[in-house]
Amino acid sequence: MNYLAHIYLSGDDLPLLKIGNFAADSIKGKAYKKFPQTLQQGILLHREIDTFTDTHPIVFESKHRLFKKYRHYSSVIVDMFYDHFLAKNWQDYHSTQLPVYVEDFYLLLKYNFELLPKRVQNFYPYMVSDNWLLSYADLDGLHKILSQMSSRVRGKVKLQDAIVELEQYYEDFEQEFVTFFKELEAFAAQKKKELLI
């Protein structure tokens, strides 16, 4: 899953858990142990969510549709597609409107900036100025984010071209997301309970 899903799956009661779940990709191996305990738990929750997602048969179906053209980047693209569906249908998942939720999260990062890994500190200004989390909600915004990602990957893969497949199989991708995400919510809630014992 991508940023918005990881943030959402953290719940709203523990800010440091949310930060850890969001920032986990920038923290490798056992380096997570140098962070405050609740932030550590967010990192571990993120890893559990990724493992569940990467091995799920529904996610495999979504990736398989893209694999011939995008190979191992299919996983990255599907993560972005799923964040798009979460953002687009946000009112089905959370009572706070998405623009308000996103702004609150940016402020949370700002107020805890010294806790963020260096990589996150570096991209934070761009994340806020381009409003990544909100831009997932429409296809133009998603296209822009995928274009920016393409400029950082090796080879000639243009991730933004996957918008064509998204439009072509939109209902299939959306149904896969809705079905999978229901399972992921239950899984993440259970893992959160286990980690916080």
For residue 119, being part of any structural domain is answered with yes
Give the count of domains, the chain.
Answer: 1
- Residue 15: pLDDT band (50, 70, 90) is very high
Tell me whether residue 183 is in a domain. Answer: yes
- Under 8 Å between Cβ of 88 and 110: no
Residue 101 is assigned to a structural domain of this protein: yes
192 CA to centre of own chain: 17
Residues 55, 77: Cα–Cα separation, whole Å: 16
Q: Can you say whether the dihedral through the CA atoms of 46, 172, 62, 190 is positive or negative? A: positive
148 part of a folded domain: yes
Q: Contact 70/157 with Cβ under 8 angstroms? A: yes
109 in a structural domain: yes
Q: Residue 35 domain-assigned?
A: no
Flag whether 188 is in a domain: yes
Q: Which residue range forms the structural domain that includes residue 73?
A: 57-196
pLDDT of residue 139: 96
Has residue 122 been placed in a domain?
A: yes
Do 139 and 166 touch, CB atoms closer than 8 A? yes
Question: pLDDT per residue over 64-86, tens digit each?
Answer: 999 999 999 999 999 999 999 99
What's the pTM? 0.94
DSSP 137-165: TSHHHHHHHHHHHHTTSSSS--GGGGHHH
